[in-house]
Each structure stands twice: as C-alpha cells, then as structure tokens.
Amino acid sequence: MAHTVAAQDIATADAAAHDWWRSSVIYQIYPRSFADSSGTGVGDLRGITARLESLADLGVDAIWLSPFYRSPQKDAGYDVSDFRDVDPLFGTLDDFDAMVARAHELGLRVIADIVPNHSSDQHPWFQAALAAGPGSKERERYIFRDGKGEHGELPPNNWESVFGGPMWTRVTEPDGTPGQWYLHIFDTSQPDFDWELEEVREEFDGVLRFWLDRGVDGFRVDVAHGLIKADGLPDFVQDDEEASMGGGAATQSPYWAQDRVHEIWRRWRKVTDEYEGQRILAAEAWVYPLEFMANWVRPDEMHQTFNFGYMETHWDAADLRAVIDDSITTFGAVGAPSTWVLSNHDMIRHATRLALGKDTPQGHGVGPASPGLPDVEEGIRRARAASLFMLSLPGGAYLYQGEELGLPEAIDIPDEARQDPTWHRTEGERYGRDGCRVPLPWEADAPAYGFSPTGDAWLPQPAVYGTLARDAQSGVEGSTLEMYRAALRLRREHRIGVGSGDVAWEDSPEGVLIHRVGDIRVIANVSGAPVPVEGDVLVTSHALEDGALPADATVWVRVRG
C-alpha cells in the first residue's frame, strides 16, 4: 500500500532527528464536526481528506481522530459496535486508507482513538452476553452481577455514572424475567468490559494490530485510567467538587486508576514497539496529582499523557508557572516530556473557559442559563494569548479543531438540539459537551459556513462562527489563524518545544510570565501592567500599545545580542 512507503519515509527522516512525539503538535479532528463531504450534516472521512492540506499548511505534525468506528452514536462514536470497521456515517475502510495515505503524503502522522474500557451495547459480544444468560462465558466479557434486595431489584452497588444516574442497568433475561445488572461507567449504551479476562486483552491486541497494519502512527487511549475495577466492587461516592472523570491518588476510587491497569499498558507498549516508525500511545488519564499521572508514561508504558493539570489551570500567572514547573519536573522524572493542551471535545472551549469563573467542572458545559457568561471578545483575546504561550513550552502540544480560529463555545444551542448523553441523563442539569463540538466554519459565505454542501449541520452553528470562518482569516494579518500559523512555523524553525528541559524563566513583574528559548523571548502578560517590549516582534497575540504588551496578551520577540 502506498501509505506504508510514505510512513517509512517519515520514519527515516526521524532517525536523524529526535523522537518525533516529544515535541510534536498534534491536531485533534472531531470527525463528525470537521468537514462533511456527503451533505448529511455529519462530517466524514472524505471531508477530512479533502481538507488535510489546510492542516499541513497550518503547520501541525500529526492529526488525532476521535472515533470513526461502527457505532450507534449514542455517545458520538465512543460507543463502538465494531472496533475493526468504519461507521457508514463516516465512510468505509477504503476511505480511511485514502485519508491515511493523503496525510502521510503531506507529512502528517495519524493517531487513532481507541476505546478499550467499554463497547456499545450493540457490539456482538454484548448481544451474545444478553442472549446467553447468567453464568455464561459470554457474560464474563462484561461486568454482570446479581442485584441486591429480595428480588435483585437494587443495583449491586452505589456507583454513579460519569454522565449522571446509576452506573448499573438491569437486563431482561432471555426468558423474559427481570435479571442481572451490568456495569457502565458512562451511558447505559456503553457496557464496561471485564479486563480481568485474557480473552478481552487478546481481542484488543488484535484491534491495535489491525490499525497499526493499516498505517496509523499511534493511539490516543480513551479512559486510560479506567478498565480495572477494585475487587469486590465496594461502594463509593465520587466527590461532587471533583471532575466526574477524576481519580486521585488521595481519594482513590474503586473504578479509576487501579494499579493493575498498568499491566495492560505495558502489554500494549510491546505491541506498538513491534512496529517501525515510533508508533505512540497517548493516555487520557484524568488523575491527580501529576506525580500519579506520570505513572502512565513510565518508560515501558505510554509515550504521552494529556496534561489535564495544565488544561484545568485558570488564567493566572502564578498558577500557570507552578503547573508548568511541576509538569516538567514530574514527567521529566520518568523520562517523559510534558504535553500541553487547552481544549478538546470534552471541555468548554478555552476561548470561553478562560473568561469564566474557576468552578466549571469538566464535562458540565455551559448554556444559556449558566451564571456569569463571559464576554466573547475577552475570551478570544485570552485564548489567543494562552495558545501562543502554550506553543512556546518544551514538550508536545495538542490543538483541538477550531481553536486556531479562536472559536468560542456555542452556548445558545436549543434544548431540543442537544445530543450529549450528559444533558439527557442529568435531565438538563448539566449542559454537557455539545457546545465544543459544533461543526467548523470553513467559508463565511457558504451554507453551514462551508461545513457541508447542503447546509446541514448536526448541531446549529452560532452566527459568530461566520465571522471567524477560516477563509475570513486566511491571509489576514493579525487573525487568530495567522497567529497560529506563524507560531507553528517559528516553532519548527527554532526547534521550540524540543527537549524536556526546564523552562528558562526570566524575572518578571507580578501577573507576567517571561521565558527564553534560544534567542527568542516569550512574554505572557496574564493580568499585569503593560510590559515594555524590546527586540523584534516575531508574533504577537495582540498589537503592542506604545511599545508595550497589554494584559491578556503574549508576544514572541527576537532578542538582539
């Protein structure tokens, strides 16, 4: 296959460089909202292929695609019914191969999203488990238990699903009677596998190889702190103040971050290491503190882990500096680079989040009735400053589609249009994640802003997306898109991000962060007084005012001498 050759070319080029993933910028594509070639209102693989050039032009190193596998789409594809096929909504395996080939041709690596904690309830294994009844081999692949109470009418324990409501659902047995319960950390449609079973482990070795053989350069591993549950499934109540996905070393939950999950990652690392070209594993592990998170990137485990500590840090100079230093020391202690990330498909977009109060837990979202909604302009301004600063840090960075346009969260989505199971399972108490998943605007004057040829979009796009469309920003000096493009070009030219060394901080007034990378000085004015700027401005998130950098702005300058 043509793409295999291209993948080897990339590998050869790398041999002379350093491990590519240590400083790469990986762009997250959320397939249903990226580009729709067929006019269904849902994005697809051909749409992605057709638009890949714009990502190469932006200057990223790789793309990560959220799930495109066969799925009933109860949790936007994170409910997989066939781990080895593409959902017809997104295209075919041939479309996938063509997409990978095109990406490699453009020098972009491709990371797939793998979802090992659970399957869809429509997965043949789960259907077989329902049909086979209690005590069967088929049920062992999932977590079925008898209920409590006289007639088994109560769930086996008190665990609550991340999306709200109980973590257990009762089934009707093949003979029509109410029967056992099955465990689902997420939606009812997402039963958890039992990872104690060797058969489940072997199945996933096969799934990894299936996609590695097709040329993927690695995997983002969904819920990499899940999978293993504590023996006996003891009762536990998650602290409401914590993100519902959070597992802490201190508040050890029986379903997050069990020590034995690491056996699985060591096993996966052996599989990816069998392949040429540095295929990587990146963990979605919402665990704290960072010392605990670093366990996921020990030398024989994963390559990267999303730095949610950084992502959840508010726009505050002292807090930012603390989390950056902590990240570099902590990940460095196990030989791993830090990653930096500000947005993804589960978080309020940072163009909105950074102008909100500190207390909006991950996954809860914002909507029209949320208190203290931020000013759109202020949010975008802070987001630009935060992104430009992030791209100067040593380590790998992740971008989420649309942040290069400065897109804010879509807040005014009508109730009836909302799709996230979080919204439905909490009966509207939490808005959930739809607001960050709205289809991208490509062209200001086209139907659905160029997202689909018919003008359909699976979630309504806010009017502000028109003014922020890619074509309205391309080539426009000072636009968010051009700022990202310039930063990514400079990052390559100056090898910024390379190495997991310390940040070379320079003295700075309160509310300001200053550091030096080679002959570039990076100044982030988070909330301080205007900072006089010396040297040639290479890129800035906001025009200087009388030779000074105002608050909520970042600049990179070349220092003379």
By annotation, the residues acting in catalysis are 222, 274
Determine if 556 is a binding residue for ligand GLC (CB under 6 A): no
**Contact (Cβ atoms closer than 8 angstroms) between residue 277 and residue 11:** yes
Nearer CB in complex with ligand GLC: 75/312: 75
Smallest separation, CB 162 to ligand GLC (Å): 7
Cα Rg of the chain, angstroms: 23
Residue 561's CB: how many other CB atoms inside 10 A? 4
Smallest separation, CB 191 to ligand GLC (Å): 12
Smallest separation, CB 197 to ligand GLC (Å): 20
**Contact (Cβ atoms closer than 8 angstroms) between residue 546 and residue 534:** no
Residues 424-483 that bind ligand GLC (CB under 6 A): none
Residues 367-426 that bind ligand GLC (CB under 6 A): none
Determine if 168 is a binding residue for ligand GLC (CB under 6 A): no
Smallest separation, CB 261 to ligand GLC (Å): 15
Smallest separation, CB 439 to ligand GLC (Å): 17
Cβ-in-10-Å burial (0-12, 13-18, 19+) of 357 comes to exposed
Among 115, 405, 468, 524, binds ligand GLC (CB under 6 A): 115
Q: Give the β-pairing of 62-65 and 25-29.
A: parallel
Among 87, 222, 403, 409, binds ligand GLC (CB under 6 A): 222
Nearer CB in complex with ligand GLC: 99/347: 347
Task: Give the number of residues written for the chain.
Answer: 561
Nearer CB in complex with ligand GLC: 75/217: 75
Among 142, 186, 292, 451, binds ligand GLC (CB under 6 A): 186
Smallest separation, CB 115 to ligand GLC (Å): 5
Q: Give the β-pairing of 218-221 and 304-305.
A: unpaired
Terminal Cα distance for the chain, rounded: 51
Determine if 346 is a binding residue for ligand GLC (CB under 6 A): yes
Cis, peptide link before residue 289, omega less than 30° from 0: yes
What distance in Å separates the CA atoms of residue 396 and residue 302, rounded to the nearest whole number?
Answer: 14
Task: Name the β-bridge partners of 29.
Answer: 65
Alpha carbon dihedral 79, 366, 239, 237, in 10-degree steps, equals -40
Nearer CB in complex with ligand GLC: 102/220: 220
Number of H helices, E strands in the chain: 17, 22
What distance in Å separates the CA atoms of residue 237 and residue 103, rounded to the nearest whole number?
Answer: 45
**Contact (Cβ atoms closer than 8 angstroms) between residue 204 and residue 116:** yes
Task: Name the β-bridge partners of 247.
Answer: 287
Among 21, 34, 78, 400, binds ligand GLC (CB under 6 A): 78
7: Cα within 13 Å, side-chain hemisphere: 22
Nearer CB in complex with ligand GLC: 116/155: 116
Query: How many residues sit in the footprint of ligand GLC (CB under 6 A)?
Result: 9
Nearer CB in complex with ligand GLC: 59/402: 402
Nearer CB in complex with ligand GLC: 86/481: 86
Among 36, 44, 61, 75, binds ligand GLC (CB under 6 A): 75
What distance in Å separates the CA atoms of residue 349 and residue 365, rounded to the nearest whole number?
Answer: 9
Among 98, 167, 216, 223, binds ligand GLC (CB under 6 A): 223
What distance in Å separates the CA atoms of residue 536 and residue 195, rounded to the nearest whole number?
Answer: 56
> Binding string to ligand GLC for residues 278 to 307, with x set by CB under 6 A, is what?
------x-----------------------
Smallest separation, CB 11 to ligand GLC (Å): 29
Residues that bind ligand GLC (CB under 6 A): 75, 78, 115, 186, 222-223, 284, 345-346
